[in-house]
Structure 1
Amino acid sequence: MTKAERTRHFIVEKAAPLINKKGMAATSINDIVEATQLTKGSVYGNFESKEEICYEAFDYLVKRVGSDMAMAMSRATTNEEKLYALFDYYLGTLTQENNFGCPLMNFGTEADDTNPIVKHKVNKAINVTESLIAKVVRAGIEAGEFQKTFDAETFSIKAFAMIEGGMWMARVQGNTKQVQIIFDSLKKEIKDYCK
């Protein structure tokens, strides 16, 4: 990495949690300057606009979440366990310090009617996450763990929507009651399709 690339990465790394917490509109360039301890000139010397930082911050957060999910699932030996590990990953994020919620939810809610670029990025990330879930279900069918009637695409859409909704409720209400009910329901459905 060149010095300029390292500086850009540093700015994004420091700004990403702040933008995820405060939102794109509420995060000022001065907030980013304070988080990075760089000058405004240095920030603008590396990025054309705050919006460009926001776009890269979203990409950074999604990549980090995807990597964390993959790591959590990699420890499982069966596809059923991989799905449970994914649920455990989500549940674990609720108690992580300095975790300000799912970037897909946070950026998507803010950008759905106002920012077509971020809306497109969020849509793409949703599709990737749903595809990941469907891929695990299909692998389970191929391995003989799940019945062939287990509809991978339908389950992945339902699971993603339920998880995101449950996570939102958990963060707003400050407890995991609803999200735990959701995970239990999803686990029961998985069990019903196990051979």
Structure 2
Amino acid sequence: MTKGQITRNMIIERSAPVFNKKGIAGTSISEFMEVTGLAKGGIYRNFESKDEISTEAFNFLCNQLSEGISGVVKVKVTAKDKLFALLDFYRDVLVINDGGCPLLNFGAEADDTNLVIRKLAGEKIKALQARISGLVDSGISAGEFNSGTNSSHFAV
């Protein structure tokens, strides 16, 4: 990895939590400077705009979300336990400790203001719904959940 890529990744990793907690509109370049220790030129040498940083930060947070869910789900055996592990992850890690769900935080703000993130958020939300629906379907097949449960509606 080049020095430039290392710096770019550092900017993304350190600015992502700020975006998640304060929103795109509520986050200023001076806050990136503060959390990264870089001057404005150092940030703009790596990114063309704040929108580019926010898109990369959103993707970074979504990857962390997916990896976190996978980590807690893979150690469980039953579909029911996997589903509860996913829900507990959301409550304990995202809501209480980390500023909330980036899918909802970015998606709500980008709905009218940032078409790129709006599209990405929609895709990621659908993927999470499919993941939940798949867990419910597995639980129905295993007799853990009521056979009359509509997994797609449940996931929403």
**How high is the TM-score relative to the length of structure 1?**
0.74
Aligned match of 1:102? 101
Aligned match of 2:86? 86
Q: What is the letter of the counterpart of residue 104 of structure 1?
A: L
Give 1:143 deviation, angstroms: 3.6
Segments of structure 1 that go 5 or more residues without pairing to the other structure are 158-195
Give 1:117 deviation, angstroms: 0.9
Write the distance in 1 (CA, Å) between the matches of 2:5 and 2:140.
43
1:40-55 paired onto structure 2 within 5 Å: 40-55=40-55
Aligned match of 2:14? 14
Give 1:83 deviation, angstroms: 0.8
1:129-148 paired onto structure 2 within 5 Å: 129-148=128-147
Give 1:149 deviation, angstroms: 2.9
Alignment RMSD, CA only?
1.5
- Specify whether residues 140 and 108 from structure 1 end up closer, same or farther in structure 2 by C-alpha distance, changes over 3 A only: same
Q: What is the letter of the counterpart of residue 31 of structure 2?
A: D
Aligned match of 1:176? none
**How high is the TM-score relative to the length of structure 2?**
0.92
Q: Deviations over 1:111-133 (max 9, x none)?
A: 11111111111111110110110
Question: Relative CO higher for 1 or 2, CA cutoff 8 Å, sep ≥ 6?
Answer: 2
Aligned match of 1:153? 152
CA contact (8 A) 2:136 2:145 kept: yes
Aligned match of 1:36? 36
Aligned match of 1:125? 124
Give 1:137 deviation, angstroms: 1.5
Segments of structure 2 that go 5 or more residues without pairing to the other structure are none
Write the distance in 1 (CA, Å) between the matches of 2:56 and 2:114.
14
Q: What is the letter of the counterpart of residue 121 of structure 2?
A: V
The alignment status of 1:23 with 2:23, answered yes or no, reads: yes
Q: Deviations over 1:24-67 (max 9, x none)?
A: 11211111111100121111111111110000001111111111
Q: What is the letter of the counterpart of residue 125 of structure 2?
A: I
Q: How many residues align?
A: 155
CA contact (8 A) 2:90 2:101 kept: no
Percent identity, aligned pairs only, is: 41
Aligned match of 1:72? 72
